[in-house]
Chains A and B, each alone.
Chain A
């Protein structure tokens, strides 16, 4: 079998290059857009995703982590009574007002966590020594990306709700949606605003995390402990991310933009491919005269479209990877998951195949009767 499609493509790559580049850039756009959205909206659930708890218990119907309301401390009893639960710790959310030298009135979210070395919340981000430092009353940790807004450096002092706090450390990766995050111990957070209650969430660890959905279901709906609702950690994270995505309209915008990228990319790539098909019209017509059917010729075009899609995808993928690594290094919120990566890849291939279908029009010129004049 002579690989006509591939040989033409590689031999005359210059003519196919615009199509490959189109696919490449369309892929880059799709992937970077998805990575930014995942990065930005993924940070809506950073409290959940940077923690090792398996269950999150909060006020019923809470749409997003930052929208929590106080729950009764009795819920802790409910959790501890369940044999599947191995550890329970509270999480306190306090909305507060930040002042520092030269900076005033910044709205911050103080996240009060269990600072013990075994603590689950933010255990992906805080080293044991840092946790120890947080046990000192009035000590806080802030994110590197927020330093400018807060007007402080590590070691500085500032005031939250009029209480003096000490920045014991600055950590990377603590960027969240909807404002600036400050991490403190539960006690420190409670002292900053005694009206915020003691507990916004309980975070629980299970002996076997695979049991989380079952345990969550069993725990739900016990009116004796006041209003509460139990979610598995992934479910609560997704809930927060989706809330932000659709509350801000970004979800629809992303879908809209993806459709535009695919359609525009397909049209541009098909122009190049059609031009190549038309330039080979006499050769294709000769094959048709010799009895090679039109479906086989269309297949040649589709094969080329697939190659263009594949090469563009590799190029776009590599380019995106480099760009995302650089962006990540610059503290730009980017993230990628295998599922979303696959969806982007699928869209890029769909783009290429659509361009192939459009380019088949070029074969109308391959009329063998026109060779005889």
Chain B
């Protein structure tokens, strides 16, 4: 079906040669509405490294969310290739794409999209059943991620009893419980107040560092920009500025390398 070179990936993170986990090669996307055809992305290329929080920023309507959905396999590009964990997403049929996402990707959205009938604990446990993880192992994982996002005290509350920030933490736990290699977040803090937003930012950062997850985040939030390991500023369907702040040694070694193809 698909064979991402994960073992190679893990080994390379430890060494100086970092293999990008997500690569866009000349992707294009346009939308047609009526007779007007709008080109959103034009031969767009870049790559993203594991174990860091990459942020894409840019003016409204420039195509950030569209880019994120193409990179995460939620919609196909018109042209070009997306390599996620070494797998060409364009080669996968929709059933296999779903399976790829089930195995490797997590999502956090601006709206929290939690089921109002389920408790925090059940929301998080829900995807696990579809991965075939059940019983004690499932419970152990659920409690561990709820602990990690600081929600274990609220495990039995339903969304109506949670604040916005708490809901987003549950949503993050739901993505995290799958131990994804790739975590995508679209404006995860824009519906939150300052302190809740900060908690979410710290969480995303920690997930990248501690789990080696590739975290790709789209946001205007200046606080997020400060905390990101790498910031890409998008304009007119291309990246026109990029910088790094700190990051881990392997990533620092990459600065100046051809991450911007």
Let me know if B50 is at the binding interface, CB within 8 A: no
* A371 in contact (CB, < 8 A): yes
A234 within 8 A of B: no
**Contacting residues of chain A (1-34) with chain B, CB-CB under 8 angstroms:** 1-2, 4, 7-8, 10-12
Q: Known: A282-B111, A282-B113. Contact between A289 and B101, CB under 8 A?
A: yes
- Which residues 47-68 in B have Cβ within 8 Å of A in the complex? 65-66, 68
Closest to B135 in A: A1
Report whether B102 and A8 are in contact in the complex, using a CB–CB cutoff of 8 Å.
no
Describe A's contact surface by its main secondary structure: helix
Contact check, A292 vs B134: say whether CB atoms are below 8 A apart.
no
Query: Quick one: given A7-B122, A287-B126, are A372 and B186 in contact (CB under 8 Å)?
Result: yes
Contact with A along B90-116 (1 / 0, CB 8 A): 000001001111110111010101111
- Binary contact readout B58-91 vs A (1 if CB under 8 angstroms, 0 otherwise): 0000000110110010110000000000000000
Residues of chain B with a CB closer than 8 A to A372's CB: 65-66, 68-69, 74, 109, 186
The docked-state distance in angstroms from the alpha carbon of A311 to that of B74 is 37
- Do A368 and B74 touch across chains, with their CB atoms under 8 A apart? yes
Q: Are A2 and B74 in contact (CB under 8 A)?
A: no
Task: Select A369's contact among B74, B103, B127, beta carbons within 8 Å.
Answer: B74
Is the CB of B129 closer than 8 A to any CB of chain A? yes
Query: What are the residues of chain B within 8 A of A287 when measuring CB–CB?
Result: 126-127
A52 at interface, CB cutoff 8 A? no
Please tell me if A83 contacts chain B, counting CB pairs below 8 Å. Answer: no
A293 B95 Cβ-Cβ under 8 A: yes
**Contact present for A4 and B126 (CB under 8 Å):** yes
Report if A290 contacts B (CB, 8 A).
Answer: yes
Bound: A20/B131 CA distance, A? 32
B217 to chain A, nearest CB (A): 12
Residue contact A290 to B175, C-beta cutoff 8 Å:
yes
Tell whether, in the assembled complex, residue A7 and residue B99 are in contact, meaning their CB atoms are under 8 Å apart: no
A283, CB-defined interface residue at 8 Å: yes
Residue interface mask A289-304, B partner, CB < 8 A = 1: 1111110100000000
As a 0/1 sequence over residues 217 to 245 of chain A, the CB contacts with chain B under 8 angstroms (1 = contact) are 00000000000000000000000000000
Chain A's nearest CB lies how many Å from the CB of B160? 10
Task: Give the number of chain B interface residues (Cβ < 8 Å).
Answer: 38
Shortest distance from the beta carbon of A67 to any chain B beta carbon, whole Å: 61
Which of B75, B98, B113 interacts with A283 by CB under 8 Å? B113
How far apart sit A293 and B125, CA to CA, in the bound complex (Å)? 16
* Nearest-neighbor residue (CB-CB) of B158 within chain A: A11
CB–CB B109/A286 < 8 A: yes
- In contact, B129 and A283 (Cβ under 8 angstroms): no
Task: Tell me, yes or no, whether A288 is within 8 Å of chain B by CB.
Answer: yes
**Cβ of A124 < 8 Å from any Cβ of B?**
no
A1-B129 in contact (CB<8A)? yes
The answer on a CB contact under 8 Å between B100 and A291 is yes
Q: Known contacts A1-B134, A292-B127: does B99 contact A373 (CB below 8 Å)?
A: no
- Pick the 8 closest A-B CB pairs, nearest first: A291-B102, A11-B117, A291-B101, A286-B113, A369-B75, A372-B65, A372-B69, A8-B117
On A, residues with C-beta under 8 Å from B are: 1-2, 4, 7-8, 10-12, 280, 282-283, 285-294, 296, 368-369, 371-373
